[in-house]
Amino acid sequence: MSHAVSDALVVTKRQWLQLLRVPEVLIFSTIQPVMFVLLFRYVFGGSISTGIPGVDYVQLLMPGIFVQTVAFTLAGTAVGLAEDMQKGLIDRFRSLPISRGAVVFGRALGDGLLNIVVLFVMGLAGYLVGWRPDSGLFKVMLGFIFLLFFGFAMAWIGILIGLSVRSARVANAAVFIAVFPLTFLSNAFAPTTGMPKPLQYFAEWNPVSTMVAACRELFGLQNIFGVTANSWPSQNPLEMSLIYMILIMAVFVPLSIRKYVNVASK
Amino acid sequence: MKSVIAEDLVKTYDDGKVRALDGLTLDVSEGTVLGVLGPNGAGKTTTVRVLTTLLIPDSGHATVAGIDVIKHPEKVREVIGLSGQYAAVDETLTGWDNLIMFGRLYHLSPKAAKQRAEELLEQFSLTDAAKRPIRTYSGGMRRRLDLSASLIVKPKILFLDEPTTGLDPRGRQEMWGVIKTLVRGGTTLLLTTQYLEEADQLADDIVVVDQGKVIARGTSDQLKRQVGGERLEIVASTEDLAQVREIVTKIAGGSVSVDEGMRQVSAPVTTGSKALIEAARQLDDLGIHPLDIGLKRPSLDDVFISLTGHVAEEQKPEEESGAKTRGRRRKK
């Protein structure tokens, strides 16, 4: 058991080394969210009104894009693991005397930590286009820590997907289908009040929405994009987000580890 | 003392429709090399996967270094090394990165991992390539690095799954040299191969596997004798065939076969090139000039035809990428 942590850290380190050896991966995984920032800021920003004088769309947009980006963490995780499986690296790991959870834990941690870089670059890009969180350094940092945890939790979903599909391409497609609607059926980019009623309820309970709302709060904004039915999640987004993260981990951590242990025993 | 024992291993896929292992039994004595020989899909890789704790068999029993692979897989993992088709290294990382990573995962200290990586790179002539990503390596270098990663903690038993499949002749020769050196050092080794010659070169004992079962076992010499060893084959014009047959009968003694269509006379011989020279001399004395004359060594196909009565069934040509092979295996 004493080795479990150090084993996982070795696997995490492997991912950082990969980024050093193939820096293009990191460059492109940061360019994409930055591109989203610019697109939404300048394409939709002009026509979406926040309804509050003095608050630009970009203030509400940035938390939304942050959450969308960390939610997509699981894509990298799933594709990376599916590739490792295809290439036989997972079998190599499984033949080593290491703890059962080390490889998957290390992977989730590595992908979770990668978000530090991505969020930093995005935050910078946001600042350049006018994003100004005004809740003070402490709360802003808390917001980012919150986002990192969310990315880590989501990575575990990616692990289960990565270990369950037959190839990296399937992993990519599966993730896209699962995550894309989640990020758009939310309050991330537009008020949910414009959606049909059933979708409004879905959007309000959607973990992406509660995360976005929580981040908006932490960055010093009212969450005016998502309160339709005054449901508990929209009233208490911080608490609800925490509950979601714990739920995701409680379900996907044990499932992922079990999958890893039995992955080829089918 | 048996280092590896597998008894009656059964593994089925698709609700029993595909029997990857069908009562496979084998053992490896300590300090010896067992070659597991068979065509694609015979169950070689599945056997290795069971013995290295990657796969749980439906039934049967197996021990490695006296440890039950099903009951105590974590203990087995401490004493084995695995390298082959399905156990790979990280291609984006350098050779050095990989050895350090695996060294650390074998719980060596950072210092010890570095020292061991240096030793292994030296031993496998990879020192110059140490800081290059694996994807820039040649096939032979890649296999050597793969092998060195499985030797980090000097395993009691080493499993090599088709160590030379996909390599060019030079890479294969290099790999054989490396494996022979290991074997001389007393490593207990189980290796799978599709090549009779490879088993011949490297293994003390050979088991021939087909359709999930061991169908023959013996030393390379014993198996070859069973197959009939070398054959003398002469192709001549139709009018000379009768005389050629007579000569071959004299030299080989009995069991001569004549293929009129191919205009070929052939027979198993035990005296090798001597028989060839003798046949050539006698033909020359009679003024017969054969279209072709030669000694044919038994191939894997010959072993299979002789042991099973059918040709070794290749499912598909060997594919380089593990991805495709895996996909196919699963689909079955």
Q: Binning pLDDT at 50, 70 and 90, where does residue A193 land?
A: confident
What predicted TM-score, i.e. pTM, was given to this entire model? 0.82
Q: Binning pLDDT at 50, 70 and 90, where does residue B122 land?
A: very high
Which strands make up the sheet holding B264-269, listed edge to edge?
A: B257-259, B264-269, B230-235, B292-296
- Chain B, nearest residue to A20 by Cα: B93
Rounded mean pLDDT of A152-180? 90
**CB of B36 within 8 A of CB of B28?**
no
Question: CB under 8 Å to B251, separation ≥6 — which residues?
Answer: B232, B267, B269, B275, B278, B279, B282
Residue B264: predicted pLDDT: 85
What DSSP line would sit under B185-239, residue for residue? TT-EEEEEES-HHHHHHH-SEEEEEETTEEEEEE-HHHHHHHHT-EEEEEE--GG
Rounded mean pLDDT of B15-23? 88
Rounded mean pLDDT of B197-208? 90
Partnered with residue B157 across adjacent β-strands are B80, B188
Rounded mean pLDDT of B203-231? 84
CA B219/CA B208 separation, integer angstroms? 11
More confident residue, A63 or B86: A63
- Chain B, nearest residue to A87 by Cα: B322
> How many independent structural domains does chain A possess?
1
Other CB atoms closer than 10 Å to residue A99's CB: what's the count? 17
Residue B77 has pLDDT above 90, yes or no: yes
CA B332/CA B328 separation, integer angstroms? 6
Rounded mean pLDDT of A127-140? 92
Residue A108: predicted pLDDT: 94
Averaged pLDDT of chain A:
88
Q: Binning pLDDT at 50, 70 and 90, where does residue A206 land?
A: very high
* Residue at token pair 């497609």: A173
- Beta strand extents in chain B (DSSP E only): 2-13, 18-29, 33-37, 59-64, 67-68, 80-84, 157-161, 188-193, 205-210, 213-218, 230-235, 257-259, 264-269, 292-296
CA A24/CA A31 separation, integer angstroms? 10
Q: Binning pLDDT at 50, 70 and 90, where does residue B35 land?
A: very high
Asked if A235 has any chain B CB less than 8 Å from its own CB, the reply is: no
Residue A224: predicted pLDDT: 67
Other CB atoms closer than 10 Å to residue A190's CB: what's the count? 20
Q: Binning pLDDT at 50, 70 and 90, where does residue A148 land?
A: very high
CA B268/CA B256 separation, integer angstroms? 8
- The DSSP call for residue A80 is H
Mutate which of B82, B91, B104, B190 to disrupt the A interface (most A C-beta within 10 Å)?
A: B104
Residue A252: predicted pLDDT: 96
Q: Binning pLDDT at 50, 70 and 90, where does residue A266 land?
A: very low
Residue A1 has pLDDT above 60, yes or no: no
CB distance A86–B80 less than 8 Å?
no
More confident residue, A242 or A51: A242
Structural domain span for residue A54: 2-262
Kindly report the nearest CA distance between residue A77 and chain B, in angstroms: 16
Partnered with residue B268 across adjacent β-strands are B231
Tens of pLDDT, residue by residue over B85-114, are 766 899 999 999 999 999 999 999 999 999
Residue A125: predicted pLDDT: 93
Asked if B85 has any chain A CB less than 8 Å from its own CB, the reply is: yes
Asked if A169 has any chain B CB less than 8 Å from its own CB, the reply is: no
Tens of pLDDT, residue by residue over B290-325, are 888 888 877 666 666 677 665 555 444 333 333 333
Residue B323: predicted pLDDT: 36
Question: CA angle, corner B245, sides to B242 and B246, nearest 5?
Answer: 90
Residue A121: predicted pLDDT: 93
Kindly report the nearest CA distance between residue B324 and chain A, in angstroms: 8
Q: Binning pLDDT at 50, 70 and 90, where does residue A177 land?
A: confident
Q: Which of residues 5-44 of B touch A (CB under 8 A)?
A: 13
CA B265/CA B234 separation, integer angstroms? 5
Contacts of A21 in chain B (CB under 8 A): 92-94, 97, 133
CA dihedral A77, A83, A88, A91 (to 10 degrees): 20
Rounded mean pLDDT of A14-21? 91
Residue A228 has pLDDT above 50, yes or no: yes
Residue B70 has pLDDT above 60, yes or no: yes
Residue A11 has pLDDT above 80, yes or no: yes
Domains present along chain B, CATH in parentheses: 2-87+150-225 (3.40.50.300), 230-296 (3.30.70.100)
> What ranges in chain A are assigned the alpha helix state H?
2-21, 23-39, 57-71, 73-87, 89-94, 102-128, 137-164, 168-184, 197-205, 207-218, 232-235, 237-262
The interaxial angle of helices A168-184 and A207-218, nearest 10 deg, is 60
A86: closest CA among B167, B261, B329? B329
Give B86: exposed, middle or buried? Use CB within 10 Å, 0-12, 13-18, 19+: buried
- Chain A, nearest residue to B323 by Cα: A86
What DSSP line would sit under B247-281, residue for residue? HHHHHH-S--EEETTTTEEEEEESSTHHHHHHHHH
Q: Which one-letter amino acid corresponds to residue B252?
A: A
Averaged pLDDT of chain B:
85
What does the H/E/C string look like for A161-219? HHHHCCCHHHHHHHHHHHHHHHHHCCCCCCCHHHCCHHHHHHHHHCHHHHHHHHHHHHC
Partnered with residue B206 across adjacent β-strands are B35, B218
Contacts of A2 in chain B (CB under 8 A): none
Residue B332: predicted pLDDT: 32
Using CA atoms, how far residue A69 sits from A19, A117, A188, A211, B51, in Å, is 18, 12, 11, 12, 43
Residue B68: predicted pLDDT: 96
Rounded mean pLDDT of A220-228? 69
Residue A226: predicted pLDDT: 57
**CB of B322 within 8 A of CB of B88?**
yes
Tens of pLDDT, residue by residue over B232-286, are 888 888 888 888 888 888 888 777 888 888 888 888 887 778 888 888 888 888 8
CA dihedral A191, A192, A195, A201 (to 10 degrees): -170
Rounded mean pLDDT of B30-34? 94
Residue B22 has pLDDT above 90, yes or no: yes
Residue B304: predicted pLDDT: 66
Two tokens, residue A265? 């025993």
A237: closest CA among A134, A146, A166? A146
Asked if A31 has any chain B CB less than 8 Å from its own CB, the reply is: no
Q: Which of residues 67-106 of A touch B (CB under 8 A)?
A: 85-89, 91-98, 102
Question: CA angle, corner A46, sides to A43 and A49, nearest 5?
Answer: 125
pLDDT above 90 coverage of chain A, percent: 53
CB distance A14–B330 less than 8 Å?
no
More confident residue, B296 or B83: B83
Q: Binning pLDDT at 50, 70 and 90, where does residue A116 land?
A: very high
